[in-house]
Structure 1
């Protein structure tokens, strides 16, 4: 029997369209392994909501492997050390893995490659970072030309099928127990309602794609309506790699109507990963240096406002609905994400990095590339970003995007109000006593934010 090869899983927890698995199968018995490394990411250690998802995704992956005569080995610690130890135990000579582009994964790949024969494969994105360049050979910084250039390479290659059998080694190495990792919350179990909204794992991802097929053609309009549930809700499945973007592209591109707007969201994901590939510190460093001089409020001074924002008690119904949806389900509607981010940054004048960190801990789809690029886009500090002076008006956005039913669902104190007044009960003098007043008026907040921005520019 040939020596076994190691298949190193990370944010690619699937068996279909899995180039690393396909390569490993061609060389001998396969030892699939997932290593929980909490030290390498440092401040970007996996957040609590992601850990809930990871538990069930790993459980699903192990089940799928066992159905094919294999199993998942779990180890905890430094990835390079654990893989080297596993190679010694099993007489393995090679490691196959999909490439990842977060700074800690790139560092881990370098460390593993110095100790073992590491073979990296593409498949986490539509195209690997660096493939799409300007005529001068530079990386695109602006999304729209990046998108147009990427479209010239589409569609991606057709996804490969799931193997029916995975050869196993003659002896399995030791594995941790998933329950020993304590990934699930308990005292209290704040994720109790997550299971009502989510089914982590490859089967859940494919079900989500199938359920979205009928809506994909209307995505351009429906995606902006929080009450309509017109989004795909595929983001956590894509983040954990339970489905490949190529699979999603091919399933969605043939639906009736025009799914182009949704397909461009897949390209935005590629764009975001290209930015963190070029600028690894994107999650903690302003891409535009002028924002280094921004006079953000000291969080000690702004503590009450920050807590009110996190708890959905700002007095702005659309903002509060979004933040409560986030806490209850680990997810938030994409239009509302922009609104709540803008509110924190511009109404409350709190550094975008505090909001990004809160999202990192509470979103099941918290993705370093998407989270960082999206927050910097709203703040105006990104490579490609909205102008800081364009300040979203939550009280206008809410009726514009028909958010009344969304507010009723997540802010029950206001559920009895009609569509005319629910977006701004204060202005109509119908705010119930159980609902807080506005933390700050829109005009006052706007003037403060613009003055701070002018100060940063000297």
Structure 2
């Protein structure tokens, strides 16, 4: 078997359950794993120093995994299509393969790669792996994509999933190739500020986290994922975004023992199939509601970003984001509803801030969730408003989550932490905490 295949990695940075890599190793004598540092991503509108840091660790881990199998990871900088064709020409490859994706950016890259391969006489192979069920596989009775989650969930549960693919035992790389240096911190962050408590990137860290969570579910029987202070979520979302673990691996591992997590993976697939059919989801309203967003909320937006609105549950979520590059999903819903439904700020402002800081900042999920909470997306109740006080009482009843991220309120006992404006005046004077930005009780509550 003499042919050579270039495997172009994008956001699938793993060796296990990687259909494109497995196919290349099975059907080619030589394989060239390639990652291209794309300036349009590292310095474009969706750039994030936090994701840059995570990416650097993920690439280092991927290179180590490939070297353990006799291979290596080539690292180049520039345009992925041009570099893939350059490497293919250098090694005399007959084929380029990669994982199919759904965003407008990724699909443009795939179309360009398809044209370039055709012109160069190369075969292009696109493989699944970014979602559990490929985005176009599940259709409504009328042949369109699903716009409501529950019918999609039923179809998704009934679908036949592909089998998890084993990691290749050997990766035979052509001799004489310069692997290239891994990017530096400066290359990846462009000098931007990073959060102090970021998760460690890479497939090894992802598998360790999944193993620990699976054991925890086995030992505990059930966990309260919605309890903000308990923090009993998987925290796998950054690893899923970068493909350090495949969503199919997680779903297969936890199916039957953690159906709540499996359902969240279905939500992830749901937004990917929505994005595949509506590639403008990050910038355009999925369902325009003719809503007029406020145009003079600059100070309020800055207070929201900094976690100084005076509403503790909102401020705790926003400060967690700045500290960890991550936020509990329940808190994401609360802070999103507060910004869009109570402050009246365009959801795109919130989505941009999340994209700046979230390690798991994903176009499909981030934009889909923001549009859901803003009432312009797939929520069947577009006027839903989440009352932050009710949400705090239900999901942080003892105030531990707030005290963890808002140290100014650490000395306030119990649920009183959620309504500091009701404390005696002498107590309030001793707090270095902002006055209420807005009445936290919305007209419509949820």
Report the TM-score when normalising by structure 1: 0.90
Structure 2 CA distance for partners of 1:185 and 1:318, relative to 1, 3 Å: farther
Residue 327 of structure 2 aligns to a residue in which SS?
Answer: coil
8 Å CA contact 1:33, 1:75 repeated in 2 = yes
C-alpha displacement at 1:402, in angstroms?
2.2
Is 1:400–2:405 an aligned residue pair? no
SS of equivalent residue, structure 1 residue 338: helix
Cα shift at 1:177: 3.8
* Partners of 1:162 and 1:323 in 2: CA distance: 39
Aligned residue for 2:420, secondary structure, equals coil
Residue 456 of structure 1: aligned partner = none
CA RMSD of aligned residues (A): 2.2
Counterpart pick for 2:177 among 172, 175, 195: 172
Equivalences for 1:241-256 in 2 at 5 Å? 241-255=243-257
**Aligned 1:208-223 pairs, distance under 5 A:** 208-216=209-217, 222-223=224-225
Query: Residue 317 of structure 2 contacts residue 332 of structure 2 at CA under 8 Å; is this kept in 1?
Result: yes
For structure 1, list consecutive stretches of 5 or more residues without a partner in the other structure.
Answer: 450-458
Counterpart residue number, 2:6: 6
Contact 1:316–1:424 under 8 Å retained in 2? yes
Determine which of 190, 195, 198 is the counterpart of 2:194. Answer: 190
In structure 1, how many angstroms separate the alpha carbons of the residues matched to 2:366 and 2:39? 19
> Is residue 133 of structure 2 the alignment partner of residue 132 of structure 1?
no
1:296 is aligned, of 289, 293, 296, to: 293
Deviation at 1:389, TM superposition (A): 2.9
Give distance in 1, aligned partners of 2:415 and 2:253.
Answer: 40
Give the distance between the partners of 1:211 and 1:190, measured in 2 at CA: 26
- Specify the alignment match of 1:271 in structure 2: 270
**Partner in structure 2 of residue 390 of structure 1:** 384
Matched-pair contact (CA < 8 Å) for 1:74–1:175:
yes
Q: How does 1:53-92 map to 2 (within 5 A)?
A: 53-92=54-93
Return the offset for 1:158.
Answer: 3.1
Correspondences of 1:33-432 after superposition (within 5 Å): 33-39=34-40, 44-116=45-117, 117-154=123-160, 156-173=161-178, 175-179=180-184, 182-184=187-189, 190-194=194-198, 198-216=199-217, 222-255=224-257, 259-290=258-289, 293-298=290-295, 301-382=296-377, 384-385=378-379, 387-402=381-396, 404-429=399-424, 430-431=427-428, 432=430
In 2, are the aligned partners of 1:38 and 1:45 still within 8 Å (CA)? no
1:283, 1:315 → 2: CA distance? Answer: 29
Larger CA deviation: 58-67 vs 218-227: 218-227
- Greater displacement, 210-219 / 8-17: 210-219
Cα separation, partners in 2 of 1:178 and 1:280, compared to 1, 3 Å = same
Task: Report how far residue 90 of structure 1 moved.
Answer: 1.8
**Shift of the alpha carbon at 1:80?**
1.4
**Higher deviation after alignment, 166-175 or 360-369:** 166-175
Q: Distance in 1 between matches of 2:244 and 2:182?
A: 21
Question: 2: distance between equivalents of 1:328 and 1:272?
Answer: 27
User: For residues 216 and 102 of structure 1, do their structure 2 counterparts lie closer, same or farther at Cα, with a shift above 3 Å needed?
Assistant: farther
**Counterparts of 2:434 and 2:7, CA distance in 1:** 52
2:21 and 2:47 mapped to 1: Cα distance? Answer: 24
Local SS of the residue matching 1:420: helix
- CA deviation digits over 1:372-423, x for unaligned, max 9? 11000000001x2153432111122112112511111100100110113101
Give the number of equivalent residue pairs.
Answer: 434
Alpha-carbon shift at residue 138 of structure 1 (Å) = 2.1
Cα distance in 2 between the residues matched to 1:423 and 1:45: 33
Secondary structure at 1:421 match in 2: helix
Q: Is the 8 A contact 1:223 1:335 kept in 2?
A: no
